[in-house]
Amino acid sequence: MNVLILGSGAREHTMAWKLSQSPQNPTLFVAPGNAGTASLATNLPLSVTDFGGIAQAVHQNNIELVLVGPEDPLVLGISDYFAADPQLANVPVIGPNKTAAQLEGSKQYAKEFLIRHGIPTAAYAAFTADTLAEGQAFLTTLKAPYVLKADGLAAGKGVLILSDLAEAQSALAEMLVDQKFGAASQTVVIEEFLSGIELSCFVLTDGHSYKVLPTAKDYKRIGEGDTGLNTGGMGAISPVPFADEAFMDKVHQRVVIPTVEGLKKDGITYVGFIFIGLIKVGDDPMVIEYNVRMGDPETEVVLPRIKTDLLTLLHATGQGTLHEVALEIDTRTATTVMAVAGGYPEAYQKGHPITGIDQVKEALVFQAGTAQKGDQVCTNGGRVLAVTAFGADYRQALAESYRGLSHISFQDMYFRKDLGFDL
């Protein structure tokens, strides 16, 4: 089977690696991919939002399944684009349609969905420039800290958590009136602040049945001890040690089932991954956000723990026969540590040679911002590569991830040495 993966991160390298293990021997294509995916697949120089170019590549390469990594093509409607074209409609796209993708593309849509289906989440209200005064008055009814969220996609930067009321009121004006996050902040969701520890839960669904995939916890801040700026993710651990059976039972009953059933009630046949961002408040799960795709770097620890053939799972998802497939999970812990370019998530350099990847024997190296220059793999992005390892628990797995990383070097390489510090 010929499979096309859209994206260029370590998430997509992991997807290609997992599919390359399939006994069905699929032929893999990645658009646009990176130096890591090039070793397992044919990279196609296409943007993930170039639907016309992707359609052409699907025809030229007899692609029979498209796996979408990032959210942008989903929010822009790639699934609908395929469904509307008689020549493409029989090629399953693993990723939801444009309506469902609003679960990630619009915070307000997600909040309305959560409330409509009785799924636990923070209380909220949404405002626009026309209701700025009401929004500022609403803030006075809340206790600090104040949570302000740009409604639309803002590359992970659209959430502000402020401790001062006056600061929150002026930030609201900046978002709504001065369009601090462009069109993404034309609507702003103001939320009750929730205090607890975060984790993520992943669900694969064909619109009828579903599988709950392993949990993961990612580390978003650049600095040790969860300090400094937010990043795309500096590492991840799976499973999450505090997500015990009793807690996961609550997640299943209160969140996963009502989400899957809620989609059906709303008339949405959701085909793809649902990434549920949770916060554990006391002993109870609350939903912070939905994403309509797998996480990065969560994929780098979740997929290696899935023993079931990924191609079988994805094919069944596309065919609506997921209930026929048994999901088998590796009970070991997997951890991944992301190595980034010095300066990231602010300005950083590209083009530095990376050495030592082939010396890593005890761990898996999933490449993100890398490019091949002649014989040499060079840095080509902020997050450069992720090193995944297994262990009996997260400490042992992390020791292996760090041992793997010790072989690798590039100029100004940085990684967090404290993952798991909060567990």
Span near ligand AMP by CB under 6 A; candidates 11-19, 178-186, 187-195, 317-325:
187-195
Angle at alpha carbon of residue 152, lines to 146 and 154, rounded to 5°: 80
Q: Please report whether residue 218 would count as binding ligand GLY according to CB under 6 A.
A: yes
Which range binds ligand GLY by CB under 6 A, 110-118, 243-251, 263-271, 292-300?
Answer: 292-300
Rounded Cα distance between 284 and 60, Å, is 50
Long-range contacts of 310-316 (CB under 8 A, 24+ apart): 310/15, 310/18, 310/19, 310/21, 310/22, 311/1, 311/3, 311/19, 311/22, 311/24, 311/26, 312/22, 312/24, 313/204, 313/211, 314/3, 314/65, 314/67, 314/94, 315/1, 315/65, 315/92, 316/206
| Span of 115-123, 290-298, 328-336, 403-411 interacting with ligand GLY by CB under 6 A | 290-298
In whole angstroms, the minimum distance from the beta carbon of 412 to ligand AMP comes to 27
Number of residues located near ligand AMP, criterion CB under 6 A: 13
CB of 9 to ligand AMP, least distance (A): 18
Site for ligand AMP in 266-285 (CB under 6 A): 277
Tokens of 36: 């890591």
Report which of 38, 35, 33, 1 is spatially closest to residue 19, judged by C-alpha positions. Answer: 1
Angle at 214 between CA 212 and CA 218, to 5 degrees: 125
Of positions 50, 198, 224, 309, contacts ligand AMP by CB under 6 A: 198
Q: Which of 72, 191, 298, 300 forms a contact with ligand GLY (CB under 6 A)? A: 298
Exactly one of 295, 318, 345, 369 binds ligand GLY (CB under 6 A); that residue is 295
Rule CB under 6 A: say whether 104 interacts with ligand GLY.
Answer: no
Integer Cα distance of 391 and 362 in angstroms: 11
Position closest to ligand GLY via CB: 295
Secondary element (H or E) of residue 35: none
Q: Which of 14, 108, 291, 380 binds ligand GLY (CB under 6 A)?
A: 291
Name which position in 159, 165, 257, 268 contacts ligand AMP (CB under 6 A). 159
Q: What is the DSSP string of 174-205?
A: HHHTS-TTGGGGSEEEEE----SEEEEEEEEE
Residue range at the interface with ligand GLY (CB under 6 A); choices 79-87, 106-114, 288-296, 380-388: 288-296
User: Would you say the C-alpha torsion 188, 192, 196, 200 has a positive or negative sign?
Assistant: negative
Task: Give 248 or 368: the residue with its C-beta nearer to ligand GLY.
Answer: 368
Phi, psi of 346 (to 5 degrees): -95, -155
Asked if 26 touches ligand GLY (CB under 6 A), the answer is no
Strands 235-238 and 333-341: antiparallel
Instruction: From 95-103, 172-180, 294-302, 350-358, give the range in contact with ligand GLY by CB under 6 A.
Output: 294-302
Picked from ligand AMP, ligand GLY, none, the partner binding residue 206 (CB below 5 to 8 A depending on kind) is: none
Q: How far apart are CA 217 and CA 395, in angstroms?
A: 14
For binding to ligand GLY (CB under 6 A), which residues are involved? Answer: 218, 233, 291, 295-296, 298
For binding to ligand AMP (CB under 6 A), which residues are involved? Answer: 122, 147, 149, 159, 161, 191-194, 198, 277, 288-289
